[in-house]
């Protein structure tokens, strides 16, 4: 499988450059081996056909996931229904995920299906959450959202599905390959410091603004130009990065509790952490923020929260241009943080849902 062939090139690339390669090359394959299993439907097709087919599969999965969320969140007879789809189709990470041939749509479908089954079948909901978490570990944070009487069953099913799928996917690599992956690929990728303007995680926000780390922007005359601030406080930047991750996680738990454990809201809060906490975030990796954004927008319309809607619209303007077309690429980061904070603050919208 792809994972078996990729482990040595990826490990060597990370060891030599300390940078995760841009998406689209085998050197960028730092994902868990279950992701390679997704290639089975297209692996034997000609490359050009396989690429297009996979993009179509991911797009279909993304639309199916959004439709499930639509059924959960919207009453078709009110204004929120069309606004739901307008916001979803505007959100640039949706198109970034599809055009980059990623698997965010598949992960989104698994997460939304997990939310759909939580109220009636917590075991099935947990298993679906585990399948999504095997592709990208962050959906496991949805565990903060289920209602208290379902949480233990949900957590057991999620953990079991995640472990079983991951273990099966490691069989072609063997025990040594599994150790190599976690030591030389997964853990090594956490130390990546990529100056690319498309790389705009929360960590890079602090690294660039506080740590003085340089970043690259396109030069109008061609090529790229390196930009950096005159001060250099990398230790403080790292501390702020770790503190922000803890603050985001704590805020998600607090808001879920304040909503009286409204399951769809709490689970989308957990899912959204997949955009804010990872060290590596390319434009398509802001997709996990979309379900929270849509839920808050729908509830704000239903409860006539004009201020919330205006603020959400302003924050969405931060995504209007790609990061590399902006004077500072982390404008996307600031907009995403603002949307998350607004989503946390508006937990009261969900107490009567």
* 276 neighbors 250 (Cβ within 8 angstroms): no
Give the β-pairing of 215-218 and 224-227: antiparallel
Q: Mind listing the pLDDT tens digit for each residue in 303-320?
A: 999 999 999 999 999 998
The answer, yes or no, to whether residue 343 has pLDDT greater than 90, is yes
Tokens of 99: 């055009």
Rg (CA), the chain: 20
User: What is the pLDDT averaged over residues 37-55?
Assistant: 83
The predicted pLDDT at position 41 comes to 79
The predicted pLDDT at position 68 comes to 96
The predicted pLDDT at position 180 comes to 74
The answer, yes or no, to whether residue 16 has pLDDT greater than 60, is no
Instruction: Compute the distance between CA of residue 290 and CA of residue 252 in angstroms, rounded to an integer.
Output: 15
The answer, yes or no, to whether residue 212 has pLDDT greater than 60, is yes
User: What is the pLDDT averaged over residues 205-232?
Assistant: 88
Instruction: Compute the distance between CA of residue 33 and CA of residue 89 in angstroms, rounded to an integer.
Output: 31
Give the least confident one: 212-216, 220-224, 226-230, 312-316.
Answer: 220-224
* 311 neighbors 294 (Cβ within 8 angstroms): no
User: What is the pLDDT averaged over residues 276-299?
Assistant: 93
**pLDDT band for position 259 (50/70/90)?**
very high
Residues in a beta bridge with 319? none
The answer, yes or no, to whether residue 15 has pLDDT greater than 70, is no
Q: Mind listing the pLDDT tens digit for each residue in 105-150?
A: 999 999 999 999 999 999 999 999 999 998 888 899 999 999 999 9
Instruction: Compute the distance between CA of residue 128 and CA of residue 322 in angstroms, rounded to an integer.
Output: 32
Q: What is the mean pLDDT of the chain?
A: 86
3-class secondary structure per residue, the chain: CHHHHHHHHHHHHHHHHCCCCCCCCHHHCCCCCHHHHCCCCCCCCCHHHHHHHHHHHHHHHHHHHHHHHHHHHCCCCCCHHHHHHHHHHHCHHHHHHHHCCCCHHHHHHHHHHHHHHHCCCHHHHHHHHHHHHHHCCHHHHHHHCCCHHHHHHHHHHHHHHHHHHHHHHHCCCHHHHHHHHHHHHHHHHCCCCCCCCCCCCHHHHHHHHCCCCCEEEECCCCCEEEECCCCCCHHHHHHHHHHHHHHHHHHHHHHHHHCCCCHHHHHHHHHHHHHHCCCCCCHHHHHHHHHHHHHHHHHHHHCCCHHHHHHHHHHHHHHCCCHHHCCCCCHHHHHHHHHHHHHHHHHHHHCCC
User: Domain spans of the chain?
Assistant: 2-350
Instruction: Phi first, then psi: give them for residue 182, nearest 5 degrees.
Output: -70, -35
Instruction: Compute the distance between CA of residue 203 and CA of residue 193 in angstroms, rounded to an integer.
Output: 9
Instruction: Phi first, then psi: give them for residue 195, nearest 5 degrees.
Output: -85, 0
Q: Exposed, middle or buried: residue 242 (CB in 10 Å: 0-12, 13-18, 19+)?
A: exposed
The predicted pLDDT at position 3 comes to 40
The answer, yes or no, to whether residue 19 has pLDDT greater than 60, is no
Cα separations in angstroms, 133 against 60, 79, 270, 273: 19, 33, 12, 13
């Amino acid at each position: 499988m792809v994972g078996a062939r990729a482990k040595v090139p990826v490990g060597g690339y990370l060891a030599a450059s300390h940078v995760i390669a841009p998406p689209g090359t085998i050197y960028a394959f730092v994902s868990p081996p279950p992701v390679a299993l997704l290639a089975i439907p297209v692996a034997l097709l000609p490359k050009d056909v396989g690429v297009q087919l996979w993009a179509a599969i991911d797009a279909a999965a993304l639309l199916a996931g959004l439709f499930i969320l639509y059924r959960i969140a919207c009453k078709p007879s009110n204004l929120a229904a069309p606004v739901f789809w307008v916001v979803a189709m505007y959100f640039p990470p949706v198109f970034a995920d599809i055009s980059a041939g990623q698997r965010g749509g598949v992960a989104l479908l698994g997460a939304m299906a997990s939310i759909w089954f939580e109220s009636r079948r917590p075991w099935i909901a947990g298993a679906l959450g585990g399948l999504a978490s095997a592709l990208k570990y962050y959906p496991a944070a949805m565990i903060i959202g289920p209602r208290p009487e379902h949480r233990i069953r949900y957590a057991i099913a999620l953990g079991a599905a995640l472990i079983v799928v991951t273990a099966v996917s490691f069989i072609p690599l063997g025990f040594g390959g599994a150790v190599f992956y976690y030591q030389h690929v997964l853990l090594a990728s956490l130390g990546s410091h990529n100056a690319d303007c498309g790389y705009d995680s929360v960590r890079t926000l602090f690294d660039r603004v506080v740590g003085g780390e340089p970043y690259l922007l396109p030069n109008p005359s061609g090529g790229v130009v390196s930009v950096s601030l005159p001060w250099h406080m990398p230790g403080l930047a790292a501390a702020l990065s770790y503190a922000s991750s803890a603050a985001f996680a704590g805020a998600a738990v607090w808001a879920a509790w304040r909503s009286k454990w409204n399951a769809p809201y709490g689970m989308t809060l957990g899912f959204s952490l997949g955009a804010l906490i990872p060290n590596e975030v390319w434009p398509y990796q802001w997709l996990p923020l979309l379900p929270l954004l849509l839920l808050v927008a729908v509830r704000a319309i239903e409860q006539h929260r004009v201020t919330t809607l205006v603020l959400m619209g302003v924050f969405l303007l931060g995504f209007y241009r790609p990061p590399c077309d902006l004077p500072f690429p982390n404008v996307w980061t600031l907009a995403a943080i603002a949307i998350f904070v607004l989503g946390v603050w508006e937990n009261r919208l969900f107490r009567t849902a």
